[in-house]
Amino acid sequence: MSAVSDAVRITAPGNPVSRSIRDSLIVAKRNLIRMSRIPEVVIFGLIQPIMFVVLFTYVFGGSMKIDGSTSAEGYKNFLMAGIFAQTVTFATASSGAGIADDMHKGLIDRFRSLPMARGAVLTGRTLADLVQTALTLLILAVVALLVGWRVGTFHDTNAGRVLAAFGLLLLLGYAFTWIGALIGLTVRTPEAATSGGLVWLFPVTFLSGAFVDTSNMTPWLRHIAEWNPFSATVQAARVLFGNPGQSHSTAWPMEHPVWASLIYSVLIVVVFRTLAVRKYRSATA
């Protein structure tokens, strides 16, 4: 209720952009307070990526060829960018479920009664999810260091490039969160939002260069994987981390992964934010 009261108190006629920013931050604060009261969400969100790190590194690592070598250490450094990207994108499912839950409980109708920007409800929710994802990514990076992941194993890097890599990963996660928001507004129950948020993520993340070198795929499958937005961000992170990446690829996103990652993520945000806000307005009209 305090967040709702704050919204009533500070929202006043003025610049629409500044009003939208203020309203979005208020909704984000409200969601962060609620998330802080259920820390098990973060804990359970960490279990899956940690399991993937252990399984892929110690079960499959010895049989995966990276740069012609089957070294477990080489695969570990190749793998981590994919695990990071998978972690930030899988947060999409919980985001969609949260929005569907708010719709189901009528909380969205309560926000409608306030003099606030319509898009602020969704923007605030996605910003709060971004903060939670950043915390999860930080903890996962510490775990990765503990199991032997290192930056600069393939070529030199620096702190600025490493931070840029994490920035691109978070941008991709934020972009995919808007897809989850659209799903959450489209379905009728939180359970359906969770299922709908995961069913498309598995082919996107596994039909990519996240866990295997795409040069080992059949030609038609390799082309799909190399032009996958998820692959572009993973490859960009590897380049910035100084870890081994995709070999012998002439696809533009693989040759210019940083630019490809930025373009893909910004386009996804623009397209799916527009669709989600339009769906929100029609669903609550």
pLDDT value at residue 84:
94
Closest by alpha carbon to 230, among 243, 248, 246, 216? Answer: 246
Mean pLDDT by 10 residues, the chain (285 residues): 45 67 85 78 76 76 60 79 91 80 72 72 88 89 87 85 96 94 85 81 90 86 94 94 80 93 97 90 66
pLDDT value at residue 247:
66
pLDDT value at residue 9:
45
pTM listed for this prediction: 0.87
Instruction: Identify the domain containing residue 205 by its residue range.
Output: 2-283
pLDDT value at residue 248:
74
Helix (H), strand (E), coil (C) string for the chain: CHHHHHHHHHCCCCCHHHHHHHHHHHHHHHHHHHHHCCCHHHHHHHHHHHHHHHHHHHHHHHHCCECCECCHHHHHHHHHHHHHHHHHHHHHHHHHHHHHHHHHHCHHHHHHCCCCCCCHHHHHHHHHHHHHHHHHHHHHHHHHHHCCCCCCCCCCCCHHHHHHHHHHHHHHHHHHHHHHHHHHHHCCCHHHHHHHHHHCHHHHHHCCCCCCCHHHCCHHHHHHHHCCHHHHHHHHHHHHHCCCCCCCCCCHHHHCHHHHHHHHHHHHHHHHHHHHHHHHHHHCC
pLDDT value at residue 3:
46
pLDDT value at residue 241:
94
pLDDT value at residue 263:
97
Task: Give the chain's domain count.
Answer: 1
